[in-house]
Chain A
Amino acid sequence: MSDADLDATDPRTLPGFFDALADGELLGGVCADCGQVLLPPRPACYACGSRAVDVEPQSHDGEIYTYTAVHTPPPAFAADAPYTVAVVALADGGRLLGRVAADYADVAIGDPVELTVREPTAAEREVALDYETDWPVHVFEPR
C-alpha cells in the first residue's frame, strides 16, 4: 500500500473531492483492475478489493435511476420540504444520489438530467461541521 502520504489535496479524500467539485469538476475513482466507478473516489475498490484506483473526471450527464420526495425532512432541511431526491445513473457508469431541481410529479425514471454545482446556502452552512462549511452542493437539473 502506498497511501501513507494521502492528504487533503488528494481527490481520494473528501476535501480533495469537494475542492474539485467546487471548481465544477466531478471526479470519480475508476478501478484499474475491474473498471468500477467509485463516487466519491476512495483508496480501494469495493467491487474487487483492488487498491489500484485511478481518479478521472466524470460526465455530468445522466438519467434518473430512481426517485422520491422527502415530506418528513430532518430538522436541518425542514424549510425545503417537500423536495425531490434521486439516484442518478451517470453516463460514465457511476451512480450518485442528490437533490433534483424539479417537482416530484414532473420526474420519471429514465429522465435525462445534468449535474450542477452550487455553493452551500447560509442555512446549509449553519448545520455543516466545521470542515464541511465550504463544501459545495450538487443538484441535478432536468435537461
Chain B
Amino acid sequence: MPEPVIASVGASPLGRTDLPGRDLFSVALAEAFDGLPDPADLVEAVYVGNQSESYEHQIMYGTLLAEWAGLRHVPAERVEGCAAAGALALRHAVKDVRNGEHEAVLACGVEKMTSAGTSGATDALSAAFDRAIEQRSGITAPSQYALLAQRYLHETDATERDLAEIAVKNHANAAHNPRAQFPKEIDVATVLDSDPIAPPLKLFDCAPVGDGAAAVLVTTEELAADLDRPQVRVAGSGASANNIAVAERDMTDIAGARIAAETAYEEAGIDATDVDFAEVHDAFTVCEALLAEAVGFAPSGMGYQSYREPAERADGWTDVQLSPSGGLKARGHPIGATGLLQALEAYEQLTGAAGDRAVEGAETALLLNEGGVADAVTVGHVLTTAEAP
C-alpha cells in the first residue's frame, strides 16, 4: 500500500480577522503551495473540515474551496464533526492515499467564528450537544467541560491551581509560536482571577473564539520526493464516536480518546512511551489532564501534572511534551481548522522548522482532535519523521 505523507502545510492568521472563510483559506493555501506546482496540477480530491454554517450561512464548503483553489471536477466535500472536523478531513485524505485512490489530496479546514460575536459562537457551538435534553437545559461548551472538570477535581488530587498551570504552560509555549493567536506568557493569578465562565472553569481556562484556516497536502511518499518536499509520515490513524450526551459517558475516563489513540499507535507499531510530543485537544484546561491519562501518557488521576517538566511528574508518566504550539488555549481554536493546525505544528516540529519551540530530538507525535464534548468523537493520528524506524 502507498505510504501517506504530509508534503506541505499552510495557515492563515488566527484570531479576529477581517477575512471571510474562503479568503482565509486562500491565504492558507498560498502558504502550503509556495514553491509547488499549482493545486490544479497536483490535487485530486478535497476534504474541508468546517463546524457550522451559522457563522457565514454557507454550506457546500467542499465545492466552494475546490473552486477557490482552481480545481474543477474533483471530488470535494465538507466534513462535519464539530471541533474534530479538521482531523476527520485529514483522516479521509490519508485513507484515500493509502488506498491508492489518489496520489495527492488536500485536507483543509476553515472557521469564521467571529462573525456574530461571542453569543453567536456560543449558540453555534451548542448545536454540537444533544438537542432534546442538553440544549434545552441551556448547556454551553464551557459548562459541559465544567461538568467534567468538577468531577475530575472531586475524584483526584488536582486543584483549580493545577488547571491554571496548564493554561500558563500553553501560553508560555505559544510565546515562541509566531502563528499563535495569543503569543504571550501569563501567570497563574491571571487565570485564577479571571471571570467565572462555568465554575470551576474561568475565562483563562477556555480556548478563545477566533477565525482561521489551515491546509495540509497529503501525498504518496514518492510524489513528495518528486516535489522535493520535506515529508512527515502519517503512520497511524484512529477514530471513535461515543455517546452524544455527556451524562451517559464516563466523564473522567475518556474512552473514545483512548480507543482512537490506541488504534493509531497500533497502526504505527508504537506505544505511548514512544511519543515525543503530542498536540492534544485542550479546548479547556481540564481536557489536557484527562487526555494525558486516556492516551497512556499519565497514570489515572495524575494527568493534571502535564504542565510540569517530565522529571517532576508522578511515577508512570512518560516524558512526552504536551502542545508545544501553545495548544488550542493559546495557539488558537478556529474549530474546523484546529485538527489541521495540530498537523501543521507536528509537520514543522518533525521537519526542523519549529524554531525555538522545537522539541529536541522529536521523531514521533500524537495528534488528538475531539468534537462535541470530550470524546463525542475523537480522531488520533501518529506522525513520524521520514527517517523514523
Contact = CB atoms under 8 A, between A and B. Distances in A.
B118 A66 contact: no
Interface in B234-250: 243, 245-248
Given A69-B198, A70-B143, A72-B118, A77 B134 contact: no
Interface stretch (B42-50, B144-152, B361-369, B376-384): B144-152
Interface string A49-81: 000000000000000011111111111111010
Interface in B101-118: 118
A75 B119 contact: yes
Contact of A68 (B123, B126, B198): B198
A49 to B, nearest CB: 13
Contacts of A80: 138
B132 A74 contact: no
B195 A74 contact: no
A72 B198 contact: yes
B137 interface: yes
B154 interface: yes
A12 interface: no
A98 B137 contact: yes
Contacts of B140: 70, 72-74
A74 B198 CA distance: 13
Interface residues of B, number: 35
A66 to B, nearest CB: 4
A68 B138 contact: no
Interface string A70-102: 111111111010010111100000111111000
B186 interface: no
A40 B138 contact: no
Nearest to A124: B136
Nearest to B119: A75
Contact of B137 (A39, A71, A95, A99): A99
Contacts of A76: 123, 138
Contacts of A98: 133, 137
Given A66-B150, A74-B122, A85 B138 contact: yes
18 contacts: A66-B147, A66-B150, A67-B150, A71-B195, A72-B142, A73-B140, A75-B119, A75-B122, A86-B147, A87-B247, A97-B133, A97-B245, A97-B247, A98-B133, A99-B138, A109-B150, A135-B136, A137-B137
Interface of A: 14, 17-18, 38-40, 46, 65-78, 80, 83, 85-88, 94-99, 104, 109, 124, 132, 135, 137
Given A65-B247, A97-B247, 8 more contacts: A38-B248, A40-B133, A46-B243, A68-B146, A68-B198, A85-B138, A85-B147, A97-B133
